């Protein structure tokens, strides 16, 4: 089965052991080139982070 493309609105998880966001689940807001803006929400905080697509895995 082929991997589905990551598109805006996709739920993704960060797969990079060097990142402080490793294992965090977020929502792709927009994609530009080979990077995605991912929105992480956690209770009373929200954070929008730009990340390379190769570090993200669709859930």
What is the chain's length?
59
CB-count exposure of residue 31 (10 Å: 0-12, 13-18, 19+): middle
Query: How many Å separate Cα 11 from the centre of its chain?
Result: 7
Q: Does 5 fall in a domain?
A: no
Residue range(s) defining the domain that contains residue 44: 11-58
pTM equals 0.88
Count: domains in the chain = 1
**How does pLDDT run across 8-45, given as a tens digit for each residue?**
999 999 999 999 999 999 999 999 999 999 999 988 88
Distance CA 20, CA 23 (A): 9
- The CATH number covering residue 41 comes to 2.30.30.140
The answer to whether residue 16 is domain-embedded is yes
CA atoms within 13 A on the CB side of 20: 3
Check residue 37 and give its pLDDT: 98
């Amino acid at each position: 089965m082929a991997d589905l493309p990551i598109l805006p609105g996709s739920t993704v998880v960060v797969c990079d052991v060097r990142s402080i966001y490793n294992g965090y689940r977020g929502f792709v807001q927009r994609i530009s080139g080979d990077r995605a803006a991912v929105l992480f929400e956690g209770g009373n905080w929200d954070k929008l982070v730009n990340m390379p697509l190769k570090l993200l895995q669709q859930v």
